Amino acid sequence: MSAYPTTARREATAPRPAAHPEPSTAHQVGRRRRTRRALLAAAVFLSPLAVFYGIYYLYAFGFLADMSTKQTSLSFTDVTDVGLENFRLVLTDPAFHTALLNNLIFAAVSIVAALTIGFFLAVSLASGVRFRRLFYAVFLLPSLIPLSLFATVFGRMLETDDGAVNTALRSMGLGSLTQDWLGSTGPAYTALFVLLVYLVGLPVMYYTSDLSTLNTSVLEAAMIDGAKAGQMYRLILFPMLRGTHRTVILSVLLGSFRAFDVVYFSSNGQPGGRTQITGTYLYNTMMGSGRVGYASAAAVIVLVIAIAVSAVQILLERRSK
Amino acid sequence: MRGPSRALGAAAAVLALGFTAACGDSGGVGGAEAAKQDKATAGETVTLNYWTWFPPEATLKEAISAFEKANPNIKINLREFDSADYQKQLPLALNGGQSLDLVGVQISAMTNTVREQLRPVADWQDELPAGWRSDLNTTMVTQTEKAAKDGKLYSVPLGSIGSSVMLSNAAMLKELGIPFPKTADELKAAVDKIKKEKPGVTPVVFTGEPWWQEEMLFTIAGQTSPSLSDDILAGRKKWNDPALVKALTDYKSLFDKGIISKSVLSLKGTRPAEQFTSGKAAFLVDGSWQSSMLSAAYRKANKIGLTDVGASAFPVVESGGSPAARGYAEGGLAIPKTSKHVAEAAKFVSFMAVGAGVDVWSKDLVLVPAKNGFKPDESVLTSQAARDGYAAVAAVVAGAGSARNSNQSFLNQVEGNAILDVLRGQSTPQAAADKMQKEWASRRYDTQ
């Protein structure tokens, strides 16, 4: 051991003036106290939500996971343990594969629609076009009214003989384009794509909200430099709203796993279950006696996939930053 | 930092405990033990809590009012549900220990889901009139017993329903001089005439939803193989049995011959009935529960403009076949274990099943009543077409060769879609039948 203390040790062992503490140390103590108070306040304010979350989500998730290894009915009194058999049956079901694939296809269509049509509409409406309130109403309304109602009306419009779509086509002299919309796969997908595209209201709201916070001096500079409208959309506004794109993509992607009402009340999976998504799959498999376990296993798988998709999405975003 | 961390940690532990508790306990709660009885003192009014989905609320209130008038010390607190919603709500309520005195049970769909929370009828039949069982249709009571896995009777059936049957716009048929078709060929002639004389009218409508396709298929199959539905669902025959492939082929032939338009398959929910009641369709193929439309009073009350409605069994498709339908006991009335007023509840069951209540609720014609010797009120069926129609529906339902039963998940996920694929020409009958059998054998749709 050295006879003389090192600089660091000298600093550590040096007597501190009692009456006048070092300003930096006092600042740290004060900051710690403030942090502690803030955390306590956060804990107090968050606790009701945490309890709510615990009861309604964690308990439900736990119950779901438990039920997924059982065969039982809604009475939950006649429980048989079946291990992982429910998972095996779900994972080997071609209808489940179709439902899952449709989830991804519909999510992709919704994302493309949001990033193109949604973005374009938001920027156009924000630029002060005439009747923009009317246009906002037209595009936002489907996202604001219950989707079940909206999808039911849409499904009714697709009826072959009396549906509004075919009636309109016939009245315009385009009778050759009339379809049995939900009777064959191509037209059924087309109809659902149209429905999903029409639900761009939420992305439009996200973009509209973030557009109002943009620094307009960049746009003014671009205008002075002679940039055209297309260039401003593509090269300036689109990149500047990168953060909004991420929000939109994530919300639309996860929304596709909750699009039960959109599909159930419009196509109901027709034709032949080929437009079914995981939500309608879960609903259909739940029907009948003793089906709770199987439906729970399917729900757990969908939940894990949704979490995995979100995690991948977030990781990719972080990497791209 | 330690204080808040501990607080947050404790909160997380509480949540984790809840999570673990959820994982650890999958047993049911409540309803296992029969509640002790509250004996009403003289003059005391007893209120019975009654949940059901049937009959329609207006009719049920009329029946309840008649019961309360005859039993001034008993009041009934009614809560009525939509049919599909009721299938989920009642098991959860009974399992949660909800205090109910009377419940309607969808015999085929719900008996096994709720039976452990119900008192077997044997436990309270002493409160029913002597010989109550012989006053009821034996087949319906037996079906209700067989619906329970343990073979016990848990509810008293009010009646039965069946499908498919065919309602017709009798006034339109009379105007066009078309007799009620009894065979597919006669139906074809009727359809051709309707198309020619009434171009804006769709001759035959029904719902294109997957679940209904089973009703159509087994009605046609039942015309030549009455027990095919029972045999397949019980595992005695396979889904690709030649009789089923033949039935698929026969069903498809109705579309190929132009008797039924493929556009009908785009109709969902109440749309077929709307078309029929608005005069835009001549024939509605549906269940016997639509027999209400035979009643002029019902049509007037529901603003249905049709002047006369008839009904019949679905026309026979294959020569040599007989009219058929699948039928099952329905509208069970049961007393839950939570009831503290069994004697009073049994009085209501008696009133509705074998007493004066039958004449009140049966006016809706939704069920064919289980009460032996029942004859519909003459004021309800005012035309010959309606009287003949009701008799035809009651006869085909009573003579059903198979129970109106389904594996609902299989029906929604596989069967209905496979049948629709055949009708749309996207699959052959044999391929569809093989697909159904393959999925049935996968054990994916096993029930308890």
Mean pLDDT of chain B: 90
ipTM, 2 decimals? 0.80
- 8 Å CB contact between B257 and B188: yes
User: What residues in B contact A78, CB-CB < 8 Å?
Assistant: 116, 448
Q: How many domains does chain A have?
A: 1
- 8 Å CB contact between B217 and B251: yes
Interval A265-282: pLDDT, tens? 999 999 999 999 999 999
The reply to whether A116 falls in a domain is yes
- Smallest CA-to-CA distance from A147 within A247, A289, A232, A256 is with A256
The reply to whether A293 falls in a domain is no
Residues 6+ apart with CB under 8 A from B433: B239, B240, B241, B244, B245, B248, B418
Distance CA B276, CA B269 (A): 13
The reply to whether A148 falls in a domain is yes
Whether A49 contacts chain B with CB within 8 A: no
The reply to whether A20 falls in a domain is no
Percent of chain B with pLDDT over 90: 78
Whether B438 contacts chain A with CB within 8 A: no
Q: Phi, psi (5° rounding) for residue B328?
A: -160, 150
Interval B34-67: pLDDT, tens? 778 777 777 789 999 999 998 888 889 999 999 9
pLDDT value of residue A223: 86
Is the pLDDT at A120 greater than 50? The verdict is: yes
Quote the distance between the C-alpha of residue B52 and its chain's center: 13
Nearest to B447 among A79, A271, A288 (CB): A288
Q: The whole model's pTM is what?
A: 0.84
Cβ separation of A89 and B94 shorter than 8 Å?
Answer: no
* Residue B2 binned pLDDT confidence (cut-offs 50, 70, 90): very low
Note down the domain range covering A208.
Answer: 103-241
Distance CA A34, CA A46 (A): 18
Q: Which residue has the tokens 């086509």?
A: A169
The reply to whether A303 falls in a domain is no
Half-sphere exposure of residue B444, counting CA atoms within 13 Å on the CB side? 27
User: What residues in A contact B268, CB-CB < 8 Å?
Assistant: 155, 268
- 8 Å CB contact between B1 and A35: yes
* Residue A213 binned pLDDT confidence (cut-offs 50, 70, 90): confident
- Smallest CA-to-CA distance from B399 within B319, B311, B326 is with B326
DSSP string computed for A27-57: HHHHHHHHHHHHHHHHHHHHHHHHHHHIIII
User: Per the structure block, which two tokens stand in for A135?
Assistant: 């246009």
Q: Say if residue A65 is exposed, middle or buried (CB neighbours under 10 Å; 0-12, 13-18, 19+).
A: middle
pLDDT value of residue A55: 84
Distance CA B297, CA B363 (A): 9
* Residue A253 binned pLDDT confidence (cut-offs 50, 70, 90): confident
User: What residues in B contact A50, CB-CB < 8 Å?
Assistant: 11, 15
Whether B422 contacts chain A with CB within 8 A: no
- CATH number for the domain that contains residue A208: 1.10.3720.10
The reply to whether A214 falls in a domain is yes
* Beta-strand runs (E) in B172-325: 202-205, 281-287, 309-313
Distance CA A254, CA A106 (A): 11
User: Per the structure block, which two tokens stand in for B136?
Assistant: 């009821």
The reply to whether A67 falls in a domain is no
The reply to whether A179 falls in a domain is yes
Nearest to A161 among B202, B406, B407 (CB): B202
